[in-house]
Structure 1
């Protein structure tokens, strides 16, 4: 169909139905946005060391690792809410991270998401392996995306009902939505952005770039990253969200090669900064 001005008008591609269902579902979200700048020198050194050993390590894997351990110490933020008149809150024992993926399905460029479970106990190398599995795999055949492919095929009302059935019950939310979300545009010349991932905490990652910083009263140059945190004000308040953001920042800036023990304590610097 063509409009009066020659514009080509057509139905939205079925591959985008899951995105529309998601956006409809999170309309009740009450977002507040915080941001900070993170000195990524420690992370970049570790990534360089990994490359010398022939290993991959993305910024995303470090952020997931650090955030999961911070949220394990902030159970109020590792939560989800449901209901208007009589709202209920669920706090989850596992920290599950949702990541977004830039994919092309049936010729249509879309965003897909997947949830990585129990990240508070998962080693950095395993997080990286899972990221690469989803990044490099074909969502048109991967069993993890069977539900999304079904949404693309079903009529809109039926697909909407099925989507709500999967994500609304608090007992399922951690598995289907995650308990926090991370979305990254760090591979593009984007300094920072805010996103609502449908979870109480959503992180937006900008590019890591050389920028001026002040160290010991002097200006130096360091690789820094703009880190944005969006929180759902229905679940937590600004002070709690600020503590989470401060903890993630400190953990990334003091990152050491992770212990082989999954229950290794957080860096002292991260703990002290959260307590301020």
Structure 2
């Protein structure tokens, strides 16, 4: 056996997992007929601009959550909890990156989604994907956590996480995480927000249309919600409406 200190590059993940211990997660999942989504991505690719599956999911979810303010919310505190509902919609999207030689999960927050179009969402994701985590301003706070003494870094993380008014900019009002680039059909994750969407791969599956079995591209989509903030009926409405929006992606 070989022991080693915990890598400082992953310190933010350790602190995040400490923060979400208060969560009361419940997991839902559905299947999305991705025929329209695949066709829209193909048409976009022929026209020039790339469109990722995640950008479509973020766009669809933002439109739904703008109509569900109770789900576009956050909670903080145990003995005297406070719940904040937000008048803006922002998404935290996870990223698989390398920080100082260590593979880590990072995140970016896309703000103002109640006014953002698909192209703006994709531009944000492409811009962040092109940045170097070792130098980009986007990840300066993560790098700072590495330089501080452990307890001071943890205290700062906890303090920042407890400020409800800052949540839209620091953690987003909902989260999207994807493992669809690999052979992962579906998964559930707690993203630190009341609603977290897990995006699996799109693959051909049998579906029933007009009473007959056909083969179509299917996306497995999960929703994890914090039961302290909303109940299952609200979460089911949100997931169903996101599914409906993705199945009706316009040309």
Correspondence 1:213 to 2:203 = no
- Give unmatched runs, 5+ long, in structure 1: 1-6, 258-276
Equivalent of residue 241 in structure 2, options 236, 247, 250: 247
1:57 is the counterpart of 2:51: yes
Aligned counterparts of 2:3 and 2:247: Cα–Cα separation in 1: 49
Q: Is the 8 A contact 1:65 1:120 kept in 2?
A: no
CA distance in 1, matches of 2:108, 2:122: 14
Retained in 2: the 8 A contact 1:95–1:179?
Answer: yes
SS of the residue corresponding to residue 228 of structure 1 reads: strand
RMSD: 0.7
Q: Supply the distance in 2 between the matched residues of 1:235 and 1:105 (Cα, whole angstroms).
A: 34
Which of the two has higher C-alpha Rg?
1
Of 212-221 and 170-179, the range deviating more from structure 2: 170-179
Structure 1 counterpart of 2:29, from 35, 42, 62: 35
Determine the structure 2 residue equivalent to 1:85. 79
Task: Using the TM superposition, give the Cα deviation of residue 165 of structure 1 relative to its aligned residue in structure 2, in angstroms.
Answer: 2.0
TM-score, normalized by length of structure 1? Answer: 0.90
SS in 2 for 1:24: helix
Length-normalised TM-score, structure 2: 0.99
C-alpha separation between the residues in 1 aligned to 2:247 and 2:16?
A: 33
Q: Structure 2: any 5+ residue segments left out of the alignment?
A: none
Give the structure, 1 or 2, with the largest relative contact order (CA under 8 Å, sep 6 or more): 2
Partner of 1:127: 121
Query: What is residue 158 of structure 1 aligned with on the other side?
Result: 152
1:181 pairs, out of 175, 179, 200, with: 175
Q: Which runs of 4+ in 1 moved over 4 A?
A: none
In structure 2, what is the Cα distance between the partners aligned to 1:168 and 1:141? 27
- Equivalent residues, number: 251
